[in-house]
Amino acid sequence: MPSYEIALILRSALERAQLSAALKRTCQVLFDNGGTIRSLENLGLRQLPYAMMRRGHRNKHGNYFIVNFDSSPSVVKSVGATLQIDEDIIKQTIILKEKDFKRPCLEGSCVFGELPNPDHEKYVHKESLQRKLFPRKKVTSIVSKQLLGSK
């Protein structure tokens, strides 16, 4: 069975017991459709990127959760439709998860497609040193005329 991930945003106005009940409903939907939950991660209460309207309520904050589960591909649409009806869920997104996914930058250096330029730091140091040793002086128009030899 393929692995999936549900990113859930629940209403911030929920108390701890109501929040727990909403998560239990979400997990029960997955169990009823033959899914296996691998992990549940609480990302905490955060401000939403923009105000979201849901069931007549304007939400500016939300509780973020990630649920990793395994299920057959035919079940995903019915799970999404069932979660869409739940009044405590502001937004949910179901994503197909790759098996060998690793978070970037956990091991080694973190390169995101930049071209390596090993001489950049030397160039910057050389430029700043030249500016200190040979500062540019403003040449006024009278001095420049005398230097150029024009009257």
Please list the pLDDT of the chain residue by residue as tens digits (151 residues): 788 999 999 988 888 999 999 999 999 999 998 889 999 999 989 998 888 888 778 889 999 999 999 988 888 888 888 888 888 899 999 998 876 666 666 776 666 666 566 666 677 777 877 788 877 765 555 555 565 665 5
pLDDT at 74: 87
pLDDT at 115: 59
pLDDT at 37: 92
Q: Is residue 53 part of a domain?
A: yes
The percent helix, strand, coil of the chain (3-state, each to 5) is: 35, 35, 30
Q: How far apart are CA 138 and CA 41, in angstroms?
A: 62
pLDDT at 145: 57
**Reported pTM:** 0.62
Q: Which amino acid is at 102?
A: K
User: Six-digit token pair at 106?
Assistant: 């956990």
Q: What is the CATH number of the domain that holds 67?
A: 3.30.70.60
Which residue range forms the structural domain that includes residue 16?
3-97
Q: Is residue 42 part of a domain?
A: yes
Q: Is residue 18 part of a domain?
A: yes
Q: Is residue 149 part of a domain?
A: no
Q: Is residue 26 part of a domain?
A: yes
Number of domains in the chain: 1
55: enclosing H helix or E strand = none
pLDDT at 86: 87
pLDDT at 28: 93
